[in-house]
Amino acid sequence: MNDILPEASGTWRFLEQSVQDLVQSYGYTEIRLPLLEYTELFRRSIGEVTDIVEKEMYTFLDRNEESLTLRPEATASVVRAGIENGLLHNQRHKLWTAGPMFRYEKPQKGRYRQFHQFDVEALGYEGPDVDAELIIMSARMWKRLGIDRIRLEINSLGSPDSRVAYRKTLVNYFSGVKNRLDDDSIRRLEQNPLRILDSKNPDMQAIIAAAPVMLDDLDDESAGHFAELRVLLDEAGVAYTVNLRLVRGLDYYNRTVFEWVTDALGAQGAVCSGGRYDGLVEKLGGRATPAVGWAMGMERLVALYAACGGIVPEQHADVYLVAVGDVAQRRAFSLVEELRSSIDGIRIELNLGGGSFKSQLKRADKSNATYALILGEQELADGNIGLKPLRSTEDQISVAMNELAGMLAARLA
């Protein structure tokens, strides 16, 4: 679990804000959710026989002996909230949410126990138009941020029925190579063979690569849905590869699944992943509601943005007020507040804790402010204030106090 320190938080805020602005411009609105849910919610939605539920959840009993879990992902909570608040009765919602997620994984670069996701969910939409729009929206996000080392993989998991057929195909195949499966996969063979395809074990990759693919078992409607999605992506000029072994690690997906992957971050290549989960609302007790969404790992976005040469606009003060002497220091307090009232959005820092003229000016320089304002006893007596440009070779000038706000506003505009 990481601390995000001041030197990094500017990048985080910039990226969070960029992503929020983008999805808001597509009509998504924010929903804020609790970090804790009943454990049962995740067991039922993500699935008992998955990495997350079997090994990765932070689960504990509260004082009332109820089993609670720190959320490992957001989709289940969005659906729970939608049902509980009556948002899903013949309504459609495009929602976004963001915040920390918790998974007890082996920490390594790009993989943490508390990490952050940005999440979008479209509830009540059958697609494939919304599937396409969600993907196109993410493609625009990379473009806006100048992220080019990323590519898209898509697949279709079909309907629940066609998954039953595919499951049989997989059990057959993996049973034939059972002596080469790892312990997890042997355990999952009967319970959840699809999960074997999502194994991260390098020793399993050859067996997985040779496994039969879903496509052969795909039902007609899902095949049509997938074909239309591809047409829409083609028309939008969004490039992709069909990865027939992309299944995702959670049980609730059907039909469209996709993943944006990068080679810029080593082994942790998945940056943004999602898919359709038409059965989940009903499974959790709501009325059948088609839905689709994606989640992006913010730590990986931050790293990828840097890897692609992204630079974050620096945050610094416009003005640093230097005040020397007791009287000037007291006057400085009211002066900065007057300036804040008269110049909208001005970023102004008041020297705190006194100090000599020289040491205050040093602080002003360190603050990266554009100007220092200098107030001493002489200036007070004359009704003036010194304005010293800190980022240019321009000379300091003296400004009449009653002209200061106007002059600063003009210079900062």
Residues that bind ligand ATP (CB under 6 A): 73, 103, 105, 110-112, 115, 117, 249, 268, 270-273, 295, 297, 299-300
Q: Shortest distance, CB of residue 299 to ligand ATP, whole angstroms?
A: 5
Vertex 403 angle, CA 399 and 404, to 5°: 65
Give the span between the Cα atoms of 392 and 123, in whole angstroms.
54
Q: Shortest distance, CB of residue 14 to ligand ATP, whole angstroms?
A: 18
* Cβ pair 72, 101 in contact under 8 A: yes
Within 8 A by CB and 6+ apart from 63, the residues are none
Give the span between the Cα atoms of 124 and 91, in whole angstroms.
6
Q: Which value, in Å, is the radius of gyration of the alpha carbons in the chain?
A: 28
Residue nearest to ligand ATP (CB): 297
Give the span between the Cα atoms of 95 and 90, in whole angstroms.
16
Q: Shortest distance, CB of residue 76 to ligand ATP, whole angstroms?
A: 11
Within 8 A by CB and 6+ apart from 27, the residues are 94
Select 257 or 387, whichever has its Cβ closest to ligand ATP: 257
Select 2 or 175, whichever has its Cβ closest to ligand ATP: 2
Select 115 or 277, whichever has its Cβ closest to ligand ATP: 115
Q: Shortest distance, CB of residue 222 to ligand ATP, whole angstroms?
A: 21
Select 152 or 339, whichever has its Cβ closest to ligand ATP: 152
Token pair of 190 as six digits: 């009967």
Select 304 or 408, whichever has its Cβ closest to ligand ATP: 304
3-state secondary structure 282-311: HHCCCCCCCEEEEEEEHHHHHHHHHHCCCC
Select 120 or 361, whichever has its Cβ closest to ligand ATP: 120
* Cβ pair 180, 343 in contact under 8 A: no
Q: Shortest distance, CB of residue 117 to ligand ATP, whole angstroms?
A: 5
Q: Shortest distance, CB of residue 37 to ligand ATP, whole angstroms?
A: 16
Instruction: Report the C-alpha dihedral over residues 52, 278, 32, 101, rounded to 10 degrees.
Output: 10
Q: Shortest distance, CB of residue 107 to ligand ATP, whole angstroms?
A: 8
Select 296 or 387, whichever has its Cβ closest to ligand ATP: 296
